[in-house]
Amino acid sequence: MDPLTDPLAWPAPAAPEYVLHLYITGATPNSTRAVHNIKSICEEFLKGRYELLIVDVYQEPKLAQQEDLIGVPTLIKRSPGLVRRLVGDLSDRERVLKALGIEPTADGPLRYE
């Protein structure tokens, strides 16, 4: 069989390196900012390496209940590494990057942990 035309011969897509869940409350200003901020960070620093699930707690209250959220918006980093939670609109970019394990080096460019 020809690997170029046989879909069974194609390599399986790689699982995303970063799995993130963002819990929001509708289209409130804080929720809208949080969505914009995390999407911007993901596209700039994690392009092609992340999966972002956005959950509106008004539409999916059971999911929010399962997470024992103390406030929204809340970002939960499921992987890699330890599970981390950030509450707020994610406008503190340095704090978000640190929670994701992305640290600036002395040279300026970012390295990924």
Q: What is the pLDDT of residues 50-77, one digit of tens each?
A: 999 999 999 999 988 899 898 999 999 9
Looking up residue 23, the CATH number of its domain turns out to be 3.40.30.10
For the chain, the domain total comes to: 1
Q: What is the pLDDT of residues 13-37, one digit of tens each?
A: 567 799 999 999 999 999 999 999 9
User: Does residue 83 belong to any structural domain of this protein?
Assistant: yes
User: Strand locations in the chain, DSSP E?
Assistant: 18-24, 50-56, 74-79, 84-87, 102-104, 110-112
Q: What are phi and psi of 102, to 5 degrees?
A: -110, 110
As a whole number of angstroms, the distance between CA 46 and CA 33 comes to 19
68: region left, alpha or beta (phi > 0 left; psi from -120 to 50 alpha):
left
User: Does residue 5 belong to any structural domain of this protein?
Assistant: no
As a whole number of angstroms, the distance between CA 75 and CA 52 comes to 10
pTM of the model: 0.79
Could you list the residue range(s) of the whole structural domain that residue 33 is in?
A: 18-104
